[in-house]
Structure 1
Amino acid sequence: MKRVLPLFLGLILLFPLSIASASWAYPFVVYSGNIYRVTEQAIQPEDVGQKIGKVTKYSDREGTYRGNFSNMYPKGTGYYAIQGRSSHEAIAVRTGEDTYILAIQQGAYSGGLEMRTIWWLYAGIGIVSVACLAAAARVMQKRRAREGSK
């Protein structure tokens, strides 16, 4: 039983992160490192410019993702420039054949690398903790063996 406890504690430390599932605050797309809030305002096809990107990752689970991510549109959905507007301000998202909707830039998207870095930090702490527990167990085992031989 005494051997199981350190192993169990070590395993718990290796997996401290849980995947949260919750609803997003609003529908959005991420393009070029910025988050764009999807509105209900339609964009006329004649006002739509060149294709500038597309959704590369879709998820309806709250989390942090890299790339041109969306919590509303499937992978492959196109992003387009809007004539007369900078893509830093707003973009058009294709929602169907010749139908587009306005998405307004809300600022930099803080996803991706940071969460991966945090995961590696937790994994490193877990590995070091397990190594320390194993070393302590080995020291205790040797001490008991010495005391038993006397």
Structure 2
Amino acid sequence: MVRTACRPRWSAVVGKPFSAFPREVNEMIEQFFGPSAANGSTWFAPLSLWEEEGNFFVDVDLPGVAADAVEITVEKSQLKVAAERKAPEGERQYQHQERTFGRVERTLVLPESADPDSIEAELKDGVLHVKFGKRAEAQPKKIAVKST
């Protein structure tokens, strides 16, 4: 198993002392049981969720994944992204190997105002871009004021 020293072992963000806790627990589990024991995956796909101009956006980093190897489902207000990065074909005698392959799954609880029927997705340059709107009742409604 190859170890890299890319980040400090214990780090806390000021004002959010437990923000790194899930990652640190997963790293401890990986030390004892291997990389797939912590989360059922052999690699991690970081994601971002934000709201802009009445829509929600999710970007998921999926480098080396083909579009036909990505599966997106919505169930009970949860967005689930599953993908598989295939290993190169043939036998290789690696001198050094840090790349990981296999299946990864990420589940994200959607905001209450999200409209799951309006989801669009595109995989571009190794990033999955997901866009979905707000439910009609969640959209702000502008009321015209009449003068008499």
TM-score by length of structure 1 reads 0.24
What TM-score results when the alignment is normalised by the length of structure 2?
A: 0.25
Larger relative contact order (Cα-Cα within 8 Å, sequence gap ≥ 6): 1
